[in-house]
A and B are shown apart, each in its own frame.
Chain A
């Protein structure tokens, strides 16, 4: 699995939310997409998911141009609640099953079974921690080539975050890639193996987590401070 972005740009009137981004994502990695608000992380993710359309540049998925067909292989989970308000947990499973060939309903229920979440519960009555689990379980129960998680840990309690982290680590498919954007840099430190730093719509740096530690004795958090502190 290979995603290649070349000169990717998204302009909103005068502003460039994503500015000439060149990025290559390969299978078998978990990427952290890092940067302060407004750095372009969310926009970049939404472009990869097809929800936001690029202004310039090219994106290819395994050599093919990114279009609606790519949504078979790319899964995007927004930060906010996004399921239809009438839905119960079972309805969510049915919806994903209807539209995504790679969705495994049994696996989904297996992932949420130990969490006091019953299929009959309405999604709008779930706590934020429970909803996050349902969202991530639905994403991981698909065997997408690329899984995009947009700030999945926002507003989630510590124990739930641990559960989510284990779900992500445990359910990653061989050859797939996962991109997590988050403000919680320390939380991601051990989970990811590649870190992508965005600044003002551009990629400031991309590095391998262990290599960073070996060569520069720095953690991702250290690197983050280095890149974003106003000097």
Chain B
């Protein structure tokens, strides 16, 4: 499987490099703007965090698109002619998406939050009367109200869970349409529809299992902006187990179809 992962990295290396380059460029923009305007630099740090989210979604999307291409185009020959069982191929692809997506996302967010810290301490020093100072201070306080490490672990678990079931469901939808509708019109449309159907189903059942809508909340509390992360996390446990279970089922089904039914 390590070999599969190696080549999945190599196939995508240009895209990944671009994403890292963007991270560096925005960070430099932040550092420059921090010298003269805290409003702009605050904006930069928010962009970093949003970009982190965007990057994660792009990595997921690209990973799914690449799998589709491998199934339907000549590029798949190189991959599927190797003496590797289908489940290992799928697992290798999913793992790469998880590792790269998580790393980039964490990288962006880490920079974003570090930058907010920088702004906060610089502002306290230079412009203590600004209204932003207590607001940011309150934000950071609520962030650290619990155990930071635990919070980060919870965040990581949520990301992994989300990425995993998104990718597994998408792979399943792709594989099903490739095995049944090979070459027919509307193959792509069907796989998108199928994916959405599966996704909505999983999210619906998941939300019925436990109420995790308050996982991340940003409130205007009595003292200003409050950020609560994962306060109801333990209740979400059942949901997460369900979602991971769905992922496993989708993965197993995809692997079976790929091994026995899908023509490349």
Please say whether the chains A and B touch (CB closer than 8 A).
yes
Q: Measuring CB to CB, which residues of chain A are less than 8 angstroms from any residue of chain B?
A: 12, 46, 49-53, 67-72, 76, 78, 80-84, 86, 95, 98-100
B89 shortest CB reach to chain A, Å? 9
A68 touches B81 (CB 8 A): no
Q: Given A98-B3, A99-B3, A52–B264 Cβ distance below 8 Å?
A: yes
Residues from chain A with Cβ under 8 Å of B263 in the complex: 46, 51-53
A78 to B11, CA, bound (A): 21
Q: How far is the CA of A69 from the CA of B84 in the complex (A)?
A: 7
B80 contacts the other chain (Cβ, under 8 Å)?
yes
* Given A78-B74, A82-B75, A99-B3: 16 more A-B contacts, CB < 8 Å: A50-B80, A51-B77, A52-B263, A53-B261, A68-B84, A69-B83, A71-B81, A71-B83, A76-B77, A82-B74, A83-B78, A84-B78, A86-B11, A98-B6, A99-B83, A99-B84
Do A51 and B259 touch (CB < 8 A)? no
Show 14 A/B contacts (Cβ-Cβ < 8 Å), sorted by A: A51-B77, A51-B80, A68-B83, A72-B83, A78-B77, A80-B74, A82-B74, A82-B75, A84-B11, A95-B78, A98-B3, A99-B3, A99-B83, A100-B83
A72 CA to B82 CA, complexed, in Å: 8
Tell me, in angstroms, the Cα distance from A78 to B80 when the chains sit together.
13
Instruction: Compute how far the CA of A68 lies from the CA of B78 in the bound complex, rounded to whole angstroms.
Output: 14
Q: Are A68 and B75 in contact (CB under 8 A)?
A: no
Which residues does chain A contribute within 8 Å of B7, judged by CB atoms? 95, 98
Indicate if the CB atoms of A71 and B11 lie closer than 8 Å.
no
Q: Indicate if B43 sits at the interface (CB-CB under 8 A).
A: no
> What mask results when residues 80 to 94 of chain B are scored 1 for a CB within 8 Å of chain A, else 0?
111111100000000
CB-CB contacts below 8 Å: B142-198 with A: 182
**Does B260 count as interface, using CB distance less than 8 angstroms?**
yes
Closest CB in chain B relative to A66 CB, distance in Å: 12
Interface residues of B (CB under 8 A from A): 3, 6-7, 10-11, 74-75, 77-78, 80-86, 182, 259-264
Bound-state Cα–Cα, A67 to B83, Å = 9
The CB with the most chain A CB atoms within 10 A, among B75, B82, B261, is that of: B82
Q: Which residues of A contact B78 (CB under 8 A)?
A: 82-84, 95
CA A6 to CA B77, docked complex, whole Å: 26
How distant is the Cα of A231 from the Cα of B78 in the complex, in angstroms?
A: 43
Cβ contact of A71, chosen from B3, B74, B82, B260, cutoff 8 A: B82
Chain A residues near B85 (CB-CB < 8 A): 68
| Chain B residues, Cβ within 8 Å of A12 | 182
Closest to A91 in B: B10
Interface contact B81-A50, CB-CB below 8 Å: yes
Give the residue name and chain of the B residue nearest to A100 (CB).
Answer: B83
CB distance from A215 to the nearest CB of B (A): 39
Most B CB atoms within 10 A — which of A53, A67, A71, A86?
Answer: A53
| Closest A residue, CB atoms, query B261 | A53
Distance from B8 Cβ to chain A, minimum over Cβ atoms (Å): 11
| Residue in B closest to A83 when the chains form the complex, CB atoms | B78
Ranked nearest first, the 6 interchain pairs of A and B with the lowest CB-CB distance are A71-B83, A82-B77, A72-B83, A52-B263, A99-B82, A51-B264
Once the chains are docked, how many angstroms separate the CA of A82 from the CA of B262? 19
- On whether the beta carbons of B80 and A53 are closer than 8 Å, the reply is no
The one of B3, B6, B77, B262 that contacts A53, using a Cβ cutoff of 8 Å: B262
Look across to chain B and name the residue whose beta carbon is closest to the beta carbon of A71. Answer: B83
Taking CB atoms, residues of chain A closer than 8 Å to B6 are: 98
Residues A49 and B10 in contact, CB atoms below 8 Å apart: no
Nearest residue, chain A, Cβ from B79: A84
- What residues of chain B lie closer than 8 Å to A72, measured between beta carbons? 83
In the complex, which residue of chain A has the Cβ closest to the Cβ of B85? A68
- Chain A residue contacts of B3, Cβ below 8 A: 98-99
Chain B residues with Cβ below 8 Å from A49 are 81
Q: Are B264 and A86 in contact (CB under 8 A)?
A: no
Assess whether B10 is in contact with A86, with CB atoms less than 8 Å apart. Answer: yes
B74 touches A81 (CB 8 A): yes
With both chains docked as a complex, state the minimum distance between the C-beta of B255 and any C-beta of chain A, in angstroms.
Answer: 11
Chain B residue at minimum C-beta to C-beta distance from A76: B81
Min CB distance, B16 to chain A, in Å? Answer: 13
Minimum CB–CB distance for B187 against chain A, Å: 14
A70 to B259: give the CA distance in the assembly, Å. Answer: 13
Taking CB atoms, residues of chain B closer than 8 Å to A100 are: 82-83
